[in-house]
């Protein structure tokens, strides 16, 4: 497993974007706040403030958000529920989180579209690759919801697949209360090492749980770089988009 540790940033960030198009991966827990469940409006507002600022730098942003703050498919399975049904409930949880992000962004004047892998036209557009790219080209933030539309696949895999489909430059994995990948839990192991740089293969060989094995293998096969960083500090999303070195960089 891999573990993470929160640290303070040095302050300030470089101007001038390093990427043209990014996919931001957020866990459901990242928008749950201190309670660890549900949706915390203050946390959502803090995140969307950063995304809105990043948009002013003319970077194209797509987002995939998990649903673990509301429901986890594995939890349902453990309770005796059929896994496919439990995962379908998890897909709906990601839609709820996506709509919350959309509403907060649009309150800040950021044109946003939610695209779902499972059709629910009354609330969001169906996912069509060319439509998603066109929205990005028009300056809209695109949020991909409902996973890939099939059970047994995580939102990590969704992030990897959608990043490749839209030709994103990088996957930005925003973590709450973390600042990168560690070799062990630094709260328990004082000698735990933080990795500044790793390859996809090192992630697999070391068994570091940055993403699930399906997602990290897909990223390796398609040469998709990943940056794991903290979203707790102000403007970290902008700083990482601008190319400031932070967190853990994962690439071939």
Q: Is 155 annotated as a binding residue?
A: yes
Q: Is 152 annotated as a binding residue?
A: yes
Q: Is 154 annotated as a binding residue?
A: yes
- 6: exposed, middle or buried (Cβ count in 10 Å: 0-12, 13-18, 19+): middle
- CB distance 246 to 239 below 8 Å: yes
Q: Left, alpha or beta for 211 (phi > 0: left; psi -120 to 50: alpha)?
A: beta
Q: Is 36 annotated as a binding residue?
A: no
DSSP labels, 203-251: HHHHT-TTS-HHHHHHHHHTT--EEEEESSSTTHHHHHHTT---SEEE-
Q: Is 153 annotated as a binding residue?
A: yes
Q: Is 28 annotated as a binding residue?
A: yes
Q: Is 73 annotated as a binding residue?
A: no
Q: Is 79 annotated as a binding residue?
A: no
Q: Is 40 annotated as a binding residue?
A: no
Query: Both ends of the chain: CA-CA distance in Å?
Result: 20
- 192: exposed, middle or buried (Cβ count in 10 Å: 0-12, 13-18, 19+): middle
Q: Is 151 annotated as a binding residue?
A: yes
Reading the block at residue 131, the tokens are: 């439509």
Q: Is 176 annotated as a binding residue?
A: yes
Cβ-based neighbour number of residue 12 at 10 Å: 8
Q: Is 41 annotated as a binding residue?
A: no
Q: Is 26 annotated as a binding residue?
A: yes
- CB distance 97 to 63 below 8 Å: no
Task: Extract the annotated binding site.
Answer: 25-28, 67-68, 72, 87, 148-155, 176, 182, 185
**Residue ranges at the known binding site for UMP:** 67, 87, 148-155
Q: Which segments are annotated as binding site for ATP? A: 25-28, 68, 72, 176, 182, 185
């Amino acid at each position: 497993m891999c573990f993470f540790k929160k640290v303070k940033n040095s302050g300030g960030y470089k101007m001038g974007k390093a990427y043209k198009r990014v996919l931001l991966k957020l866990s459901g827990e990242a928008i749950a706040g201190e309670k660890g469940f549900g949706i915390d409006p203050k946390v959502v507002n803090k995140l969307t403030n950063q995304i809105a600022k990043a948009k002013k730098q003319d970077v194209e942003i797509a987002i995939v958000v998990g649903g673990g703050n509301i429901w986890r498919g594995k939890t349902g399975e453990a309770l005796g529920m059929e896994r496919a049904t439990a995962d379908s409930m998890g897909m709906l949880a990601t839609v709820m989180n996506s709509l919350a992000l959309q509403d907060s962004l649009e309150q800040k004047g950021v044109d946003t579209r939610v695209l779902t892998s499972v059709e629910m036209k009354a609330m969001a557009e169906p996912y069509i690759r060319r439509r998603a790219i066109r929205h990005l080209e028009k300056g809209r933030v695109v949020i991909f919801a409902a996973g890939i539309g099939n059970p047994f696949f995580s939102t990590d895999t969704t992030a990897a697949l959608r990043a490749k489909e839209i030709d994103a430059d990088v996957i930005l994995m925003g973590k709450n209360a973390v600042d990168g990948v560690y070799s062990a839990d630094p709260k328990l192991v004082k000698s735990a090492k933080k990795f500044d740089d790793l390859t996809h293969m090192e992630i697999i060989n070391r068994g570091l749980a940055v993403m699930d094995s399906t997602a990290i293998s897909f990223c390796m096969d398609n040469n998709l770089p990943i940056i794991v960083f903290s979203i707790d500090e102000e403007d970290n999303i902008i700083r990482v988009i601008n190319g400031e070195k932070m967190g853990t960089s994962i690439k071939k």
